[in-house]
Amino acid sequence: MSIEKPESKIENSGELRKYIYRDNSAGGEVVFECVAKDILEADKMYQEKTGKNPEKQMYIGCSIEKIEPDAEK
């Protein structure tokens, strides 16, 4: 009998997700948004755009949203 490990749909699917970076010291103001396959790619895009590493900014948070396909297709 084999036991399968469940895969995290966000981390392992390779689907594009929307990443939203907020400055929690400024009331949650959105400072950057992008679409990427994973958080590492999104962090790299954030750093290229802002010149700052999001991992070293204590007030920057990131939320992830699933991108829904268009309902009309």
Taking only the tens place, the pLDDT of each residue in 1-58 is 556 554 444 454 568 999 999 999 999 999 999 999 999 999 999 999 999 999 999 9
Q: Which residues contact 63 (CB under 8 A, 6 or more apart)?
A: 19, 20, 22
Structural Rg of the chain based on CA atoms: 15
Tokens of 49: 């755009």
Q: Which residue has the higher pLDDT, 71 or 20?
A: 20
Q: Please tell me the pTM assigned to this model.
A: 0.74
CA nearest to 20, candidates 52, 66, 72: 66
pLDDT for position 69:
74
Q: What is the pLDDT of residue 15?
A: 87
